[in-house]
Amino acid sequence: MADHTHEHDHDHARTFAPDEETKLGYYGLAEIAVRELLIEKGLFAPEEFRMGWERFDTNGPAMGAKVVARAWTDPAFKERLLRDGSAAVREFGVDMGLIHLYAVENTADVHNVIVCTLCSCYPKPLLGPPPDWYKSRDYRSRVVRWPRQVLREFGTAVADDVQVRVHDSTADLRYLVLPERPAATTGWSAAELEGLITRDALIGVARIAPPPTHGATE
Ligand code: FE
């Protein structure tokens, strides 16, 4: 919209209040009240708000995949990522604000998985919005107590001699799993590797599946 001088006509239907049966908590109500007030004051238009959410909602794990593919192909970057995740992802234009990002590396001996036991803290600038299961009480409470079992439920078996580390995210602390690069990707470019990297592997509930071989020999 080029012209923002239109009148505000108090058409509250435009802000899409949730269905009546949806229970709104304190923060849900506060968000709607503040949003409607800011729109009424003309600080932003409803369509700008919508566009912001569209960007957020359709933002997937692509940035996380880019960061990991770079770490797999650039040892110096990997070192920077493991040392100071927030600073390293800034090289990709990702601003974590005041949040500390820790990249945790999966190896032959260690498997990492992330959770937020308190709520749903998640490295959103890298992975987009969290999946529903990540926010569920079921996942949050069980993965810290029985991580191997929960991982098995995701189809990820972790051998007994591999240590499982569960990382609890907080308001100012986020984790990104740096998965193991599959064998048989020798010589692949970062762009090619990105295509193999899935959201769940970056959360740590899955591994990166080996690439299809197409019957070719390498
Ligand atoms: Fe949280």
Domain containing residue 165: CATH number: 3.90.330.10
Q: What is the pLDDT of residue 17?
A: 64
Number of separate domains in the chain: 1
In a domain, 152, yes or no: yes
Report how far ligand 1's centroid is from the alpha carbon of 188 (Å): 36
Structure confidence by residue, pLDDT tens digits, 143-194: 999 999 999 999 999 999 999 999 999 989 999 999 999 999 999 999 999 9
Report how far ligand 1's centroid is from the alpha carbon of 186 (Å): 37
Q: What is the pLDDT of residue 15?
A: 57
In a domain, 96, yes or no: yes
What gap in Å lies between CA 48 and CA 157, rounded to an integer? 45
In a domain, 209, yes or no: no
Tracing tokens 């100012």 back to the chain, one arrives at 172
Q: Which domain holds residue 119?
A: 60-203
Report how far ligand 1's centroid is from the alpha carbon of 120 (Å): 4
What gap in Å lies between CA 165 and CA 181, rounded to an integer? 19
In a domain, 16, yes or no: no
Angle between helices 46-57 and 26-40 (to 10 degrees): 130
Percentage, residues of the chain above pLDDT 70: 88
**CB–CB of 113/148 below 8 Å?**
no
In a domain, 32, yes or no: no
Q: Residue 106 corresponds to which tokens in the numbers above?
A: 């999966």
DSSP string, 131-164: PHHHHSHHHHHHHHH-HHHHHHHTT----TTSEE
Count CB-CB contacts under 10 A for residue 76: 8
Cβ-Cβ contacts under 8 Å for 211 (sequence gap 6 or more): 182, 184, 185, 196
Predicted structure pTM score: 0.79
- DSSP H helices, 61-196, are 62-73, 75-83, 85-90, 124-127, 132-135, 137-145, 147-153, 190-194
In a domain, 75, yes or no: yes
In a domain, 53, yes or no: no
What residues are annotated to the active site?
Answer: 116, 119-121
In a domain, 194, yes or no: yes
